[in-house]
Structure 1
């Protein structure tokens, strides 16, 4: 590749999706520090498309992404990335305020229906009396989506360099000089899509960090032969203490919904978190746990107000932030990439995201 117009740092869902948008009209180089793209957060996600997940700041991005994930352009993918799931938000009597807040915040934006949870989850313990059904929720084929973004990026002429961390960068001559283990790279713009490493990348470029913080999330795969059906909804606690969803016959993916502050790293599960997850699960349903088949952890990275960050740094105009996407970067990736692409090109957003207020996500709110 000739001198790239844009270098994207990070090959997860953020960098891959934005790269696929930008490569339509620019020479784009993607730098990934690991031997494979998506090794950290993207490759460990228990992802679903749920409009209430992530809160009100994230919902417009999720809603706009839905049609693009359900019926993608054939040039992007020959099949949909979504399959029906539903979410059942459940709670005990003391969670009534959380239930009412969910209904009030998303009423008129998202289809939500108060229900008797026992009718939807056989074996639910008697104290779980509150339920809200979110029928539009879908599972996401994360691996297929990530690979589709990368294929489109390459097809449009984008280049990926694996095992190539950005060591430092210096603004010069209206662009950047990037130092890597494989040599220097000159480019016009840098996009920071480095996830848990976003603040570290900023500092390596001489840009003040925004306070994007990584948090560890633990997941376990349990074998539960008594689980009634693989078609059960995703079950999510109104008090944010767990969620679990079927993963085929007799298996579930479960998290204690932990958010443990962590340095950027190759995250690993802690036994205490695994035990806590199982204890919470056993307090919800009477399905005996036959085995813990897998356990893993990933890092979710949040800005200080928990909304994503898209836009040029106000103090360093050639440095573009595309980070802080928490646990919702996959379900919002089509809309986020289109919106960020329009911001980087300084043009009006395309129709699919025209109604989204991009200022909500500007890094200027932290400066």
Structure 2
């Protein structure tokens, strides 16, 4: 009998398993794939960006920063939100939106923009500079949490697609599609794109978590982009790109509704990404060497969902983390573990308004 059975061993499930185990909970971590992190976690563009996800996500991002920096998971890069003359209103609105959130941003003109992005076309005239943005070593962070969880006694089971869930005598019975069975006092739904399907199996009401496909393509360009160039994002949300090991990682910032699946890129999205990129810089695109897609899953209000289901006893949510689940994982997992174990906030989570992320907002 486990205290918690967590369904999904991506960054969400792995970080929460480590935190629950640290509070003394007997924890089971179930993963449907052959290894943890196959889907969204393993396909991330891998950056920590203070503004990403909006003001409601900033507290989780900032609270996670020290943990990630002290663990050596971040490498500083910086980020630029860039715009044209027609985007002045959008840039102004961005500054107002984040004015009192604690993020560090600075407005730049054409000269400052060109200094950070050599070859940027003349039509791009201003930017917002975010110096704290950093690359995340996602694989290392994910493995860090899996290791912490195992050392604290968490059992991790892969190839364990949960096919049946039943409530009996104040505990849960779970069964995989291969017939394996487990018992737990509580279930945590950390199934990402499959979160609503897991909820239905447990008799809980789906929240409406929608998977959205995001495409990334790796380009070889000439001249080669400077290794220290920042992450570059369109203020209108049409693209972002950054250098990676001598190449460019580029996304059209697409959000295509999808069923939960092993996501694959569409050629139209790849072509659209390259066309948008060529309107930004005068570099020559020599080849699209790799392309992939992942699913980013959002609740209807685009805030994550952490905590006990208001209607189903012993069923909790840790889902809807969109594209910010990795960069917020330290604070999110700590906050969720404290709520699930009735523990007090600590230095990391004190001051975070947990009600923003409570599942009962959908009741």
TM class, shorter-chain normalised? over 0.9
Note the C-alpha offset of 1:119. 2.3
Structure 2 distance, partners of 1:319, 1:94, is 48
Q: Which residue of structure 1 aligns with residue 207 of structure 2?
A: 210
Q: Which residue of structure 2 aligns with residue 103 of structure 1?
A: 95
**Larger CA deviation: 51-60 vs 177-186:** 177-186
Unaligned runs of 5+ in 2: none
- Aligned partner of 1:237 among 234, 238, 247: 234
Q: Which residue of structure 1 aligns with residue 2 of structure 2?
A: 4
Normalised to the residue count of structure 1, the TM-score between the two structures is 0.96
- Aligned partner of 1:342 among 301, 313, 338: 338
Structure 1 distance, partners of 2:225, 2:186, is 53
Note the C-alpha offset of 1:228. 4.1
Kept in 2: contact 1:189–1:319 (CA 8 A): yes
For residues 50-103 of structure 1, give each alpha carbon's deviation from its aligned partner in whole angstroms, at most 9, with x where no partner exists: 11000011100000000000003xxxxxxx000010001101112112111111
- Aligned partner of 1:159 among 155, 162, 170: 155
Kept in 2: contact 1:164–1:182 (CA 8 A): no
Structure 2 distance, partners of 1:185, 1:245, is 44
Note the C-alpha offset of 1:132. 0.7
User: What secondary structure sits across from 1:129 in the alignment?
Assistant: strand
**Larger CA deviation: 265-274 vs 110-119:** 110-119
Note the C-alpha offset of 1:16. 0.1
Structure 2 distance, partners of 1:101, 1:17, is 34
Q: Which residue of structure 2 aligns with residue 183 of structure 1?
A: 180
Q: Check if 1:173 corresponds to 2:172.
A: no
Pairing of 1:313-328 with structure 2 (within 5 A): 313-328=309-324
For residues 240-291 of structure 1, give each alpha carbon's deviation from its aligned partner in whole angstroms, at most 9, with x where no partner exists: 0000000022x11000000000000000000000000000000000010011
Unaligned runs of 5+ in 1: 73-79
Structure 1 distance, partners of 2:161, 2:129, is 44
Normalised to the residue count of structure 2, the TM-score between the two structures is 0.97
Structure 2 distance, partners of 1:13, 1:50, is 17
Note the C-alpha offset of 1:4. 1.1
Structure 2 distance, partners of 1:209, 1:168, is 16
- Aligned partner of 2:216 among 202, 208, 219: 219
